[in-house]
Amino acid sequence: MRAVCRRPCEVPQDWLVLSLSVQKEGVQAAVVQQQINAVLTAALVAATPSVKPGKIELSTGGMQVTPRYGRDGKINGWVGSTELVIEGTDFARISSAAAKAQTMAISNLSFGLSRVARAQLETQAQVLAIDGFKLKAAQIARGFGFADYGLREVSVQSADQQSGPVPRMMAMRTSAMAADAAPMPMEAGKSLVVVTVSGAVQLK
C-alpha cells in the first residue's frame, strides 16, 4: 500500500538579482565594441566599491556585437550589448550601487532565496513531510486493523514555487534616479518549497 504526504514551507525572499544593460549601434563593429566596453568599465568602477562579501556580488553578463541588416538584406551597421549583474541580500545597498552605475540602464530585477535560506527551508519542509508521512502511514495501518507498518520504499522530492507579488521587469535609465544614488523602492515576495514524501508501506 502506498502513502503520500506533502508539506509546504514559505519564507520571505532574501536574494535580489538586479541586471543593468547597455546597447550601442554603429557602422563599424570595432567601434561599437569599444563603446560598450567603455560603458561597462565605467559602471564597474562605480559599482565595485559597493561590493561586500556575503552581501553583494558583482558579475558581468554576456557581451555581443551582431550585424544590423537593411531592407536590401545587406549589413548596414552593428548592434552591441552587454550586461552587469548586481545581486545579494542587501537590497538597499544593491539599489544604491545600481544608481551609481549611471552609464547603464536597469533592465530587469528578480527576487529569490539565498543558498543558505533555501537549504534551511528545504530541511524544514522535509522534516515536516517525513513526520506527516509517518503519521499517515500509522493511521492507514490502524484503519485496516494492523498494529504497525514497515517501509518497502520511500521517495522524497522538493519543488520551488513563488508566492506573493511578482516583481515586474523594469527598463529605466539609472540617471533618472536621484543623483545622490538614493535607493530605489522595492518589495520582495515569498518563496514556497513543497516537499513530497511518498512510499510503499507493508502493514504488520
CA dihedral 165, 169, 175, 178 (to 10 degrees): 0
pLDDT band, very low/low/confident/very high, at 148 (cuts 50, 70, 90): confident
Weakest-pLDDT range from 6-15, 111-120, 164-173:
164-173
Torsional sign, CA 115, 120, 123, 126: negative
Mean pLDDT of 90-115: 88
How far apart are alpha carbons 19 and 174 in whole angstroms? Answer: 11
CA dihedral 178, 18, 42, 26 (to 10 degrees): -100
How far apart are alpha carbons 131 and 124 in whole angstroms? Answer: 11
Tally Cβ neighbours within 10 Å of residue 74. Answer: 8
Tally Cβ neighbours within 10 Å of residue 200. Answer: 14
Q: Residue 35 pLDDT more than 90?
A: yes
pLDDT score of 179: 41
Mean of per-residue pLDDT scores for the chain: 82
pTM over 0.85: no
pLDDT score of 161: 63
